[in-house]
Amino acid sequence: MQSNFVDYVKIHCKSGHGGAGSASLHREKYIDKGGPDGGDGGRGGHIILRGNSNLWTLLEFKFKKHFRAEHGGRGGKSRSTGHDGEDIILNVPIGVIARGEEGEILGEITEDGQEMILKRGGKGGLGNWHFRSATRQTPRYAQPGLDGDEGWVTLELKVLADVGLVGFPNAGKSTLLSVLSAAKPKIADYAFTTLTPNLGIVEYRNHQSFIMADIPGIIEGAAEGKGLGHRFLRHIERNSTLLFLIPADADDYAKEYDILLNELKKFNPELLDKERVLAITKSDMLDDELKAEISSQLPKDIETLFISSVAHQGLTELKDALWKKLID
């Protein structure tokens, strides 16, 4: 399933041209000089993004990148309006940002069913019926339809989750997610096991729940593109609370935390405004004396817990701490 996760695509969109207006003159038996009766052209079809909460990837757009909407129909006699061009609906996951060719943000999809017009269809031309006057009773011209719009659009998916897991490779993020939720991320003891974000629903007290995201591991220099680079750092932007994970067998706990924090700051300083919790993982190997020694090395401005996903230690306290951050 991981190989099917696509979070960045470029697509080419072309909306439909507007239909031409009609320059028809009314013709009917026994009626001489019936006058102009040309109808308007129909508008061209739009290219529309629509949010769909059942989707989690942009995989569809990896194989089809060109989308062309239908042109509007020509106006007809008897003031009949041409048909509107059929719209093209592109269903995307919640959390997608659309960017134009210069990188500017065109809009974002944050709700199920939300729609956004990427490329607007051309307006239909007016028929000669609109151009009649006392001095111009039989105008024989009508407007052409306006051209549609076309260009490349970048779709960028940022995972929506309540809690984002932040840590170096092998910090225990995937293991924690697999224990707290029904998610089944790939787990192995080598770096960069997680190559794509994984989401899991964590059940809490009184039938409440929150969404947790396992973000691929950060390394020093990730904001400059090292390792998996900043491609995955953007997913952290959509998490309301960040859970930092540092393994109990780390060489320098404070240094690891500072490196993680610095990478987030270099990528987007606003990430430091998010709520944060620090968990020391794999702590089933620690006794109380070691925990006290580690605590003395850790920053005092962040709540810290000792947990073990394998031994199921400290997980209830961790969920309590995260829930408190989410509702504050």
- Residue 246 forms beta bridges with which residues? 280
Distance CA 261, CA 255 (A): 10
Question: Could you tell me if 179 and 322 lie in one domain?
Answer: yes
pLDDT at 45: 98
- The answer to whether 277 is annotated as binding is no
pLDDT at 185: 46
Distance CA 231, CA 212 (A): 19
Series of mean pLDDT values for 10-residue runs along the chain (328 residues): 69 98 80 80 98 88 95 94 97 93 93 96 95 84 95 89 85 87 52 56 88 70 45 70 92 90 84 92 91 90 93 95 91
Question: Could you tell me if 152 and 173 lie in one domain?
Answer: no
Looking at 131, 157, 183, the residue that finishes a domain is: 157
- The answer to whether 306 is annotated as binding is no
Question: Could you tell me if 149 and 166 lie in one domain?
Answer: no
pLDDT at 191: 38
pLDDT at 242: 92
Looking at 139, 157, 175, the residue that finishes a domain is: 157
Distance CA 6, CA 116 (A): 21
pLDDT at 233: 63
- The answer to whether 189 is annotated as binding is no
Q: What Rg do the C-alpha atoms of the chain give, in angstroms? A: 29
Find the domain containing 174 and state its range.
161-327
DSSP state letter for 328:
-
pLDDT at 194: 42
Question: Could you tell me if 23 and 8 lie in one domain?
Answer: yes
Task: Indicate the number of domains in the chain.
Answer: 2
pLDDT at 272: 87
- The answer to whether 154 is annotated as binding is no
- The answer to whether 142 is annotated as binding is no
Question: Could you tell me if 268 and 133 lie in one domain?
Answer: no
Question: Could you tell me if 179 and 34 lie in one domain?
Answer: no
- The answer to whether 160 is annotated as binding is no
- The answer to whether 282 is annotated as binding is yes
pLDDT at 5: 67
pLDDT at 231: 55
pTM of this prediction?
0.67
Question: Could you tell me if 149 and 20 lie in one domain?
Answer: yes
Looking at 157, 187, 219, the residue that finishes a domain is: 157
CATH number, position 82: 2.70.210.12
Distance CA 123, CA 148 (A): 8
Question: Could you tell me if 315 and 171 lie in one domain?
Answer: yes
